[in-house]
Structure 1
Amino acid sequence: MCGELSLKTNNTDEVDVTMDQSWPVRVVVAENDIRKITFHKKPNTLEELISELKERLNQQYDFMLHYADPEFNNAFCNLTDITELSDRPTLKIVSLENVFVTLSAASPSSSASSLSSALTQSSTGSSDTIILPRTEETSPLTSRDPWPSTFEVPYFSVNIEYRLRQGNLIYMRDGTRMSVSRDMKHDILQKLAEEMYKFSAYPQDEHFTTVAAALIAKHPCLAEPGSTTGCYGWKNSLKFKMGNLRSKLRRCGIADLTVNSNKRTQQNPEGEPPGKSLKRPRRSETNFLPDFPQGQDASTLECSRQLLENEMKKRCPNAVQVNQLMNQTFSLRRKEIVEEQPSVKRMLERWPALFRIQQVFAEFTRVTS
């Protein structure tokens, strides 16, 4: 009898120990999908935790984890060591399929080292992801930003800014508009055209209207008498100045501008026939045919393409590495598509990653923004 009582007591203690080892976790899968998952015991490593979560949540993609850090008011931080987690932690799943690393935005001196460090972390299974910031050395000729919701009028040269400030004071005092000299108007239009080119080589009519209205709003002394909007003449002058800027850049060999000037004319007898169908980058494509990144050429980008092709031959390609190489070789790929117009079979052989659904969306984003 005593032996049975002792046995029951031991079994109860074992059950209590087992219950004490359970580990509840709050997992944020998506904005509207927050779940509670209870582990029998706390995993020993971060890899075991990710593997168990992938199986519990039936996730087919790779992801990294963020955790709510109580030292920073429960703000999310990258999880690199499982010992950082408390007894009842809150985790957030971040899909690696949506992490895009733009190496072309990095400076030429740091692009190679950034690529090697990113690939090293990917090969060792680290959850950290390098996001390279856009530097001031990045040329607007390489890639452009989407058109802003509010156009900011740039600062002009020192003498023009001084003259505009004096003109605005006189306009506010007695309503006298400023008489703009020819050289001053040339400098203002040139600066505005260069600022517009950062967003689009072929601005639409509403873009010119927005820029002209922003100029008058910032410098009301430039308003035109007799005009309902006060900026109709500035708008027309901007159109001509933008055309002159495109002509100058086209003669310099800018790719996305020269592609529109290959028609056969008397000045260009070796160009394409006038009736040849050619897609024009005049709609929503901000990066229709970008030039190669600074410090790179076709040979270096071809080496990166071969690395990408070899990675896609693996059974489970590394998603982060594929995104890195696809971003880096974007200009080479666009050059092939626009100028050579290869067949789908040829593209599938050279760019197999482009036919994955994640990269289809990513490529659309690269072209349009």
Structure 2
Amino acid sequence: MPDKPTLKIIAQVPTPTSSTADTEIISFSSPESRSSLTRSPWPDSFEIPYFPVDIEYRLRQGNLHYMRDKTYLQVPRDMKHEILEKLAETIYSFKAYPRDEEFNDVATALIQKHPCLTEPGSSNGCNGWKNSLKFKMGNYRTKLRRAGCTDVAVNGGKRKGQTPPRSVKRPKRFEINFLPNFPEGEDETSMESKRKELVEEMKKRRPTAALISKNMDSTFALRRKELVNLEPPVKDTVERWPALFTESQILEEFCRLSSKNLQAEFFKELDKYTPRFLEIFKSKGGSVGQKLQEYLQQVTPGSTDVTGKRTAVLRGLPIILGDENTDFFKICFDCDDAPDMSHTPMGILTVIAEDSVASPHSLHLESTATAVVLEGTVVMDDLDNLPHAMCLLFGLIYALNLEYPQQLRYTFEFIQRVLLSLGQKSLKPKIQSLKNLLMQ
């Protein structure tokens, strides 16, 4: 080292100047742009962030006055702007389109931490803050849209005479990484080359798992852009993204979207509730009880056959929720030609031996194979059993941004909200009633 070394700093990315104007453009040289997996699930208890030093000082003084003589703080315009801006930034780290009850959670947490901000004329002390947050969040999304943030830019074009999108595209089932930006240094061309490399790799007899996992992770933003914006048919997605229809990548994609381990949580919660489910099945009467009894008779009491019990619960779940499952669970013999599934939008096909009895009320625990059907196409086959297929089908619904099958909407919502804890606390009456029974 020389006696007087010189250090030269070269800025690779220009740092935007600080501004509080509502029209400022947000820089995407933040971690948000470097990784597609930056969001966290909405917290059970929203934690109010720290505001700039001057704002924190004024709030601390206001809280002291409130505790001393119940004096409410008169919030000036600039101070309110800073508070709302910081809250909007924090909210966006969880989701771009919060629900009404989530805005209420934030406003309530704000006045609990800073009671001097309580609104004396409001019924709950924070209705004004809640409404201001809604408007600020809309303005914040506008700034993000101008900056090119994809999960809000997709819903642009609603004002100034522009043609509105066909429908508002936002997370349907609490996906926390619904439509991420391209990673820094990547564009559509570079991702497309990786996609083609994936297609070629999947043609091999033994594809390289590490390469597939790496490329599937790096092309996540491109894949979501296609699936959310274009909503292609399933058969087209099979051709463009064949790796997405492998078990390992379904589970990884679900984790990218929701940050949850689908297989572990699905079976852990299912097994936890299974004993209580079987008790509920036994207690049911009428036509519902008769159908459930047929399933129970095929499961030996005290048996260690976990698969049989799981199958009985998953087949009985639609019955007690009032869903119609006759067109969802299908059966065929292994000696038959491939059945015509062209009119099956979504379902699970169980393949049984030719000497078995094909009954709609049989669990077919000795099946030779199980397959998943989407839009008339068998997208996965040779699965071990029905619970395995049901778990992977649920993952595919998330991965392909599909709607739940209408005839089993309550069943899939139960899996989402109760088994996987994806969703707000309020449940539909049927699902809430069943959850109450399970907790007894």
TM-score normalised according to structure 2 size:
0.48
Q: Structure 1: which amino acid aligns with 2:175?
A: E
Structure 1: gaps of 5 or more residues: 1-107, 109-135
Distance 2:173 2:140 in 1: 19
Match of 2:134 among 239, 250, 256: 239
CA contact (8 A) 1:142 1:293 kept: yes
- Select the residue among 32, 43, 65 that pairs with 1:139: 32
* TM-aligned CA deviation for residue 180 of structure 1: 0.8
> For the Cα contact (< 8 Å) 2:179–2:221, is it kept in 1?
yes
Could you give the per-residue CA deviations for residues 60-79 of structure 1, whole angstroms, max 9, x where no partner exists?
xxxxxxxxxxxxxxxxxxxx
Which secondary structure does the structure 2 equivalent of 1:151 belong to?
coil
Cα distance in 1 for partners of 2:173, 2:85 equals: 23
Query: What amino acid maps onto 1:203 in structure 2?
Result: P
Describe the shift of the 1:301–1:247 C-alpha distance in structure 2 as closer, same or farther (beyond 3 A): same
Q: Which amino acid aligns with 1:139?
A: E
Report the counterpart of residue 286 of structure 1 in structure 2: 176
1:222 Cα deviation from its structure 2 partner: 0.9
> Do structure 1's residue 267 and structure 2's residue 161 form an aligned pair?
yes
Aligned partner of residue 234 in structure 1, secondary structure: helix
Residue 346 of structure 1 and its aligned partner are, at CA, apart by 2.5
Within 2, Cα distance between the matches of 1:146 and 1:174? 39
Higher relative contact order (CA 8 A, sep 6+): 1
Aligned to 1:365: 255
Contact 1:255 1:291 in 2 (8 A): yes
Deviations, residues 73-121 of structure 1 (Å, cap 9, x unaligned): xxxxxxxxxxxxxxxxxxxxxxxxxxxxxxxxxxx9xxxxxxxxxxxxx
Letter in 1 for 2:215: L
1:261-290 superposed Cα distances (whole Å, 9 cap, x missing partner): 346x66215x55xxx456543552322221
Secondary structure of 1:286's counterpart equals coil
Structure-2 change in CA distance of 1:257 and 1:278 (3 Å): closer
Letter in 1 for 2:103: F
Please state whether the residue corresponding to 1:139 is helix, strand or coil. helix
Task: Give 1:298's match in structure 2, choosing from 183, 188, 191.
Answer: 188
Q: Which AA in structure 2 matches 1:138?
A: P
Instruction: Find out whether 1:215 has 2:110 as its counterpart.
Output: yes
Shift of 1:292: 0.2
2:85 matched residue in structure 1:
190
Report how many residues are paired. 231
Per the alignment, residue 321 of structure 1 pairs with 211
Residue 355 of structure 1 deviates from its aligned partner by: 0.8
User: Alpha-carbon deviation of 1:246?
Assistant: 1.4
What's the CA shift for 1:291? 1.2
Q: What is the RMSD of the two structures over their aligned residues, measured on CA atoms?
A: 2.6
**Using a 3 Å threshold, how does the CA distance of structure 1 residues 188 and 147 change in structure 2: closer, same or farther?**
same
2:246 paired residue among 336, 352, 356: 356
Query: Retained in 2: the 8 A contact 1:202–1:282?
Result: no
Matched, 1:204 2:94: no
* Partner Cα distance (1:278, 1:238) in 2: 20
Structural mapping, 1:1-369, within 5 Å: 137-139=30-32, 142-143=36-37, 144-262=39-157, 267-269=161-163, 272=165, 276=166, 279-281=169-171, 283-369=173-259
Structure 2 gaps of 5+ residues are 1-11, 13-28, 260-440
CA 278–225 in structure 1, closer or farther in 2 if over 3 Å, else same: closer
CA distance in 1 between counterparts of 2:57 and 2:97 reads: 31
Superposition deviation, residue 303 in structure 1: 2.5
Change in CA separation of 1:278 and 1:161 when aligned onto 2, cut-off 3 Å = closer
CA 1:158 to 1:365, structure 2 compared with 1: closer, same or farther past 3 Å? same
Amino acid at match of 1:225: P
Write out per-residue CA displacement over residues 138-187 of structure 1, whole angstroms, 9 at most, x where no aligned residue.
Answer: 21794422212222211111111111111111112222121111111111
Could you say if the C-alpha distance between residues 266 and 207 of structure 1 is closer, same or farther in structure 2, counting changes exceeding 3 Å?
Answer: closer
**Partner residue, 1:85:** none
Deviation at 1:318, TM superposition (A): 3.1
* Higher CA-based Rg: 1
Partner of residue 400, structure 2? none
- Whether the 8 Å CA contact 1:256–1:281 is kept in 2: the answer is no
Distance 2:116 2:229 in 1: 47
Equivalent-residue separation in structure 1 for 2:90 and 2:160 (angstroms) = 33
Quote how far apart the aligned CAs of 1:243 are. Answer: 1.2
Q: TM-score of the superposition, structure 1-length normalised?
A: 0.57
User: Could you tell me how far 1:204 is from its partner in structure 2?
Assistant: 0.6
Cα distance in 2 for partners of 1:349, 1:293 equals 24
Residue 259 of structure 1, CA deviation: 1.5
Identity score, percent: 57
SS in 2 for 1:188: helix
Tell me the secondary structure at the aligned position of residue 169 of structure 1: helix
